[in-house]
Amino acid sequence: MKETDFIKQNKKKWARFEKLSNNSNNDPDEVSELFTEITEDLSYAKTFYPRRSVRVYLNQLSQGVFTSLYKQRKQPIGNFMKFWKEVVPLEMYRARRNLVATFCFFVLAILVGVISQHYDVDFVRVIFGDYYVESTEERIANGNPMGVYGESSQGAMFFAITINNIRVAFLAFTGGILFTLGTYWVMLQNGIMLGAFQWWFKAKGLLFTTFLTIWIHGAFEISAIVIAGAAGLTVGNGLIFPKSYSRMQSLIFSAKRGMIIMLSLVPVFIMAGALESYVTRHYQVIPTVLKLLIIFGSFAIILFYYVYYPVQVAKKFPEKIKVQEIPRFIPKKEIVWYKIRKPGEIFTDTFTLFISHSAKLSKLFFNLVFPLFAGMLILVFALEWFRFDYNLDWHQTFGSLFGTGNDFNFYKLLGWPVPLTFLMAAGFFVLSENKTGKFMQLYIKFALKHFVWLYLYMLMVYSIFLFSPGVLLFLLILIAPFLTVIPSIIVLENVNFFTAISRSFDLGKGGYGDILLSNISLIAITIIFFFVLHNPFELGILTIINDFVKDTLITVLDEYRVVIAVVNSVAYIFFLFLIVTLASFSFSLSYYSVQERKTAKGMFDRLTSFGKRSRHFETDLDFE
């Protein structure tokens, strides 16, 4: 059938369907019947007119109505109940072997702590420190061995304890990404602490007293750690045993499953914190029967919901036990450079570019840029290692490393912009076109070509961050649109630093508002990612890693604080890799957007091709 005949035969039906689909007061049966016919027409059009406009029209028509007809209705209460009655129990059933593994390993770690304390009476000092042991002995002498639970206000203690419980469980969960070794380490660490703690009190004849005290809240707290360990093993096993998926896909699927288990622990954390803050402190006046009721009642709740109930749900829904994950297909997005972009588009396109060029960026970073950063790290720690041999906050480590405030030194001022320059050059290089030849050699040639002028720019920016007071640094955001176009002008127009400065005022004012908002978005992303590293809730990645390094090295290395500073410094370098490359992409997109606004180059290019497309077949331009 000819396309014109096909359209003529069905256009009334399509018009009727389009009218009904846009009207809420319609006959559902008629809409459903027409929808079936429309999908059949679409299949026919895909077969016989694959590159014609009728296929595009039918596809849009059917897809829009399909979404409105068949999208799931929002049922927040129903979904909430389903999460607790079905999703979590099934996930726990799938993780039952991981739960058994973490429980057995945790019990083994407790035995290690018991045996170690039995044969070495000072072992508890290694675990808890001299201050805690001596203060506890003083409380025992005063007849209040568990008095530590009543020394803080109830509200503050509840918040602090709950956050700490979440931190430990989160560490057990995220430790799974280290091929499950991190999870097992958390289980070992906490098990040894518990075993040594209980056996130390047993030697003082207080085992039953401490049992009835710490397990008031410990039933929920320790159970949550073990269950979080099972979630961590779920993540780690997905990484170790990807099966038919890629390792990254398997990690994503297993992390999602583990996160479901972690979310289910939120009420457990809250209950543990509430009991420890509001009940445990009254251990001396609470009757023994009530203590036992709380302890075994808490264990009964955990065993019912996380052990018994999952088995019953699995029997009820056997078809849902095995989950077949489907990897999400993300189509490749083509970037049109000469295009006027709003800040939101610059933001999304920046991350699109980062994801699509991540392999090339990583290759450049690890082969050439990271060694330059490592050289500066070695130089700083070789000359000033003593500055890092303290318990430093993140801003103190940052200052000692990069030379802010009293830690300023000229070799830092002149040295750090070198790897930063090569890093920004890497961002611009992967965006450049017509690269023929060996990749690494081309990058070196590209970086050296622009090095002097990009270095002066990076030295200027670095100096601003070093010497500008906080208020002035905030006000500099207002002139940032003029500063951020400079590197793009240097590279894309192949001019020197001073010419780029003079050009920046002309370009900056041309897109001032959009560039300003884009820069603010970049600053927000910087803060968010840094919050992931450090945050006041002690849930930052580096906080967790620092605790791990400290607990591992404190008994074997006097300068363990220097090692922690080195770990933090390496993390900051990877942080800079992310932010500087994102900045270079954002600056490039802002530059092209301003250029399009001033010259309309992209529009003229499209006008040049106007009317030259095939009149019989669609092209990629039809889908922009």
Helices (H), 333-477: 343-356, 358-364, 370-384, 394-402, 410-415, 417-431, 439-467, 470-475
Look at residue 281 and tell me whether its pLDDT is greater than 90.
no
What was the pLDDT predicted at 16? 77
pLDDT tens, position by position, 566-577:
999 999 999 999
What was the pLDDT predicted at 73? 45
Say how far apart CA 425 and CA 431 lie, in whole Å: 10
pTM of the model: 0.65
What was the pLDDT predicted at 70? 46
What was the pLDDT predicted at 150? 81
Longest dimension (CA), the chain: 100
Distances (CA, A) of 248 to 75, 111, 371, 452: 32, 37, 26, 39
Give the DSSP per-residue string, 2-27.
-HHHHHHHHHHHHHHHHHHHT-SSS-
Mean pLDDT lowest for which of 54-63, 168-177, 266-275, 571-580? 54-63
Give the rounded percent of residues in the chain with a pLDDT score beyond 90.
40
Q: Please report which confidence band the pLDDT of residue 421 belongs to, taking 50, 70 and 90 as the band edges.
A: very high
Look at residue 71 and tell me whether its pLDDT is greater than 50.
no
**Helices 96-119 & 207-240 angle (0-180, nearest 10):** 130
Look at residue 64 and tell me whether its pLDDT is greater than 70.
no
Who has greater pLDDT, 84 or 623? Answer: 84
What was the pLDDT predicted at 78? 61
Look at residue 559 and tell me whether its pLDDT is greater than 90.
no
What was the pLDDT predicted at 381? 94
Look at residue 620 and tell me whether its pLDDT is greater than 60.
no
Give the DSSP per-residue string, 445-475.
HHHHHHHHHHHHHHHHHHHHHHHS-HHHHHH
**Helices 370-384 & 417-431 angle (0-180, nearest 10):** 170
Residue range 44-58: average pLDDT? Answer: 74
Who has greater pLDDT, 308 or 339? Answer: 308
Residue range 418-447: average pLDDT? Answer: 88
Structural domain spans, the chain = 3-70, 83-320, 343-606
